[in-house]
Chains A and B, each alone.
Chain A
Amino acid sequence: MIRSPLTNPYVLILPGFLLAAFIILWPLYQLGTISLNDVNRFGQLRGFNGVENYVAVFTDPDFLGALWRTFIWTGGIVFGTLIVSIPVAMILNEDFYGRSLARVIIMLPWAVSLTMTAIVWRWALNGESGMLNSGLQGIGLIDQNIQWLARASTAFPVQIMIGILVTIPFTTTIFLGGLSSIPDDLYEAAKLEGASRWQTFREITLPLMKPFLNISIVLNMIYVFNSFPIIWATTQGGPANSTDILVTYLYKLGFRFGKLGEASALSVMMFVLLLAFTILYVALAMRRERT
């Protein structure tokens, strides 16, 4: 074999490693330091104070509420996206008139920044001037304006729905890729043996799609857990913190109330939480695959 820097894997991964490590690990180290210190609102350290910041976060009742809602938020969007995306991907995988157009439309939300989507929805959900109410009235579904964002019982489901809508394109794309990798003869064989559609789906499609389902669940979990603009632009976590999730709570803690120490502690905790979940999920998924 010829010697060349191109055959040394360490040389090859070095630039990528350095760039990522420098821009991601260094700030992480900073956060860790801040979280263990007494810190004023401008981030100037005022001495080591152990786990006090962590305790302060844990004993805040708003934290537990936000934590619980984060689970609903993440679970709701990841699961909801899954339920919608599988049939959508299966339809888009079939050959029918206007399929390219349908694919483009389904992918469309991906093309818009989340911030802008959230701003548009906020405007559309406005009680009096919003076009959602006037649209629903127009088709006779409601006869009175609904104040969507006035209380958590309507606002949070709407936010989850927006979350699902913007997560569908990525998920569907992955599923489409998965479906196109399933060889057609498998289906034909199943047809010859007289399998029903449902059986084909359960026995062939689903098992072969599993790696794709897993990867989309892990990635979506990470993205959704960290997603900030939808809730921030529509309700800012209100009314009365009833739509706060961890990231919006983190933002308020750090930048509204100037508790940078607690905010850093929360950042670290969120990171650990996410890490634990991903490891757990990956381990589970892999074990099931092996058996």
Chain B
Amino acid sequence: MNKTALKTAVAGVALLSMMGWAQAETVRVTVAEYSSKTGPYFEEAAKAFEEANPDADIQIEVVPWDVLLQKLTTDISGGANADLSIIGTRWLIDFVDQGIAAPLDDHMTQDFKDRFFPVFLEPSVMQEKTYGLPIAASARAMYYNKALFEQAGIEEVPDTWDALAEAAEKIGALGDDIAGFGLQGKEIETDVYFYYAFWAYGGQLVEEDGTSGLDTDAGYKAAEMYKSLIDSGATQPGVTSYNREDVQNLFKQGKVGMMITAPFLSNQIKEEAPDLEYGVAAIPAGPDGDRGTYGVTDSIIMFENSQNKELAWKFLDQLFTTEWRAKFTSGEGFLPVNPEVAEQPAFADNADLKEFTALLPDARFAPVIAGWEEIAATTSDAVQTIYLGNGEPKATLDAAAEEINGILGN
């Protein structure tokens, strides 16, 4: 038994002895609303926990994704934050820098750590301490419409961006309301949609010297490629009015040949457009064989000022058992972050999910930088300017890179 485990055990015993006389202890949990299933799932988990621990009171606070960061910010500034919260892992650095997130290592046993794929646990390790547990994970892959491919006479699923451009033009020629490649140009993750090509051309978000990588050949080429797709009519018209959900809707209607998005689209198609014939493939590679998918994890963190850390941890421990993980992951359409969950037939035999997990070695996570949201917004603005034709790719990206360098503190 190592030292940490011992401490945990001692603390656990102390807690148990307190439970005998303690009043009901409250643990507040802020959760992001991924879909209409999120709230009910956490309520159920809370109920099960309260049954096992009659003195505990778990309060679930469901918050829409769009306003999660705002709520957390105001909560923390007012000292009214919950005990546990789901956050985007890319925000974690700010929470750690300001001493708001509590390190979890003292609670974690080796056995607990082994429940996770290391690749997903890694992003929340900072200064050699673990500050968050991956609650949701997803990666991106390319969906393609088999019927449209057949109509346009495309036999091979494009594996490079050149091939994709060619295929997209063929599909775009099928009809006025058919587009070859669905390009997202609005709201959350507009920058990410640009990175897919940027990474393929060998780009890096932050160069080794700590400056932005947008003002490199990779950036210019990716932007020019997207712009030429727009100009040749291979994408849907008016890309800057389409957010991720809008492009997905086009795909579900069979109006788009290819698009890049997360595993949850499969779930939606199953429910809303069961007749759609589609496939999932890797994101195309660049001329030198580079390719990258975007890996996203959301983490659940514990707040440093929580009064009930032990009980909160106990609830986390329940959430990360195989049974509860499997339920959450399949309900929301995320990737399994736990090997035991991944081995369950529902996940292991899912062909779509396999494509996503196969991409994981290429997965890039949002860099761990304070102020990342602002950098992402600057990038989104720049690519929107290019898509609209209001600025030359090179000049626009150079200006954006300069602004980002300012944020990075260079």
A binding-site residues for B, Cβ under 8 Å = 40-44, 126-129, 145-151, 155, 235-236, 238-241, 251-252, 254-258, 260
Cβ contacts A to B, 18 pairs, < 8 Å: A41-B94, A42-B77, A42-B98, A129-B249, A147-B237, A149-B186, A150-B241, A239-B240, A239-B381, A239-B385, A240-B380, A240-B382, A240-B390, A255-B67, A255-B73, A256-B70, A257-B371, A257-B377
Inter-subunit contact A128/B373 (CB<8 Å): no
B403 CB, nearest partner CB in chain A, Å: 9
- In the assembled complex, the CB of A255 is this many whole angstroms from the nearest CB of chain B, namely 4
Report if B185 contacts A (CB, 8 A). Answer: yes
Tell whether, in the assembled complex, residue B241 and residue A147 are in contact, meaning their CB atoms are under 8 Å apart: yes
Assess whether A40 is in contact with B377, with CB atoms less than 8 Å apart: no
Contact B94 A258 (CB under 8 A): yes
Residues from chain B with Cβ under 8 Å of A256 in the complex: 69-70, 373-374, 377
The distance in angstroms between the C-alpha atoms of A146 and B377, with both chains bound, is 26
Which residues of chain B have C-beta atoms less than 8 A from A44's C-beta? 77, 98
- Residue in B239, B249, B250, B382 whose CB lies within 8 Å of A150: B239
Please give, as numbers and ranges, the residues of chain A lying within 8 Å of B67 by CB-CB distance: 255
User: Which residue of the partner chain, among A239, A240, A260, contacts B77 with CB atoms under 8 Å?
Assistant: A260
Closest 10 CB pairs of A and B: A147-B238, A43-B77, A150-B238, A255-B70, A150-B241, A239-B384, A42-B76, A239-B240, A149-B241, A240-B384
Beta-carbon nearest neighbor of B403 in chain A: A61
- Per-position 1/0 for B374-391, Cβ under 8 A of A: 100100111011011010
Q: Is the CB of A238 within 8 A of B187?
A: yes
Are A238 and B240 in contact (CB-based, < 8 A)? yes
A-side contacts of B177, CB under 8 Å: 128, 145
Q: With both chains docked as a complex, state the minimum distance between the C-beta of B371 and any C-beta of chain A, in angstroms.
A: 7
We find that the number of chain B residues with CB closer than 8 angstroms to chain A is: 39
Q: Which residue of A lies closest to B249 (CB)?
A: A129
Residue of chain A at shortest CB distance from B388 = A151
- In the complex, residue of chain B having the shortest beta-carbon distance to the beta carbon of A61: B403
Cβ < 8 Å to A, chain B residues 288-303: none
Question: Quick one: given A43-B77, A43-B78, A128-B250, are A240 and B238 in contact (CB under 8 Å)?
Answer: no
Q: Are B388 and A240 in contact (CB under 8 A)?
A: yes
A150 touches B98 (CB 8 A): no
| Docked-complex contact B241 and A41, CB < 8 angstroms | no
Contact A150 B240 (CB under 8 A): yes
Residues of B contacting A41 in the complex (Cβ-Cβ under 8 angstroms):
73, 94, 98
CB contact under 8 A between A240 and B94, given known A41-B73, A42-B100, A147-B238:
no
Q: Within the complex, what minimum Cβ distance (angstroms) separates A76 from chain B? A: 21
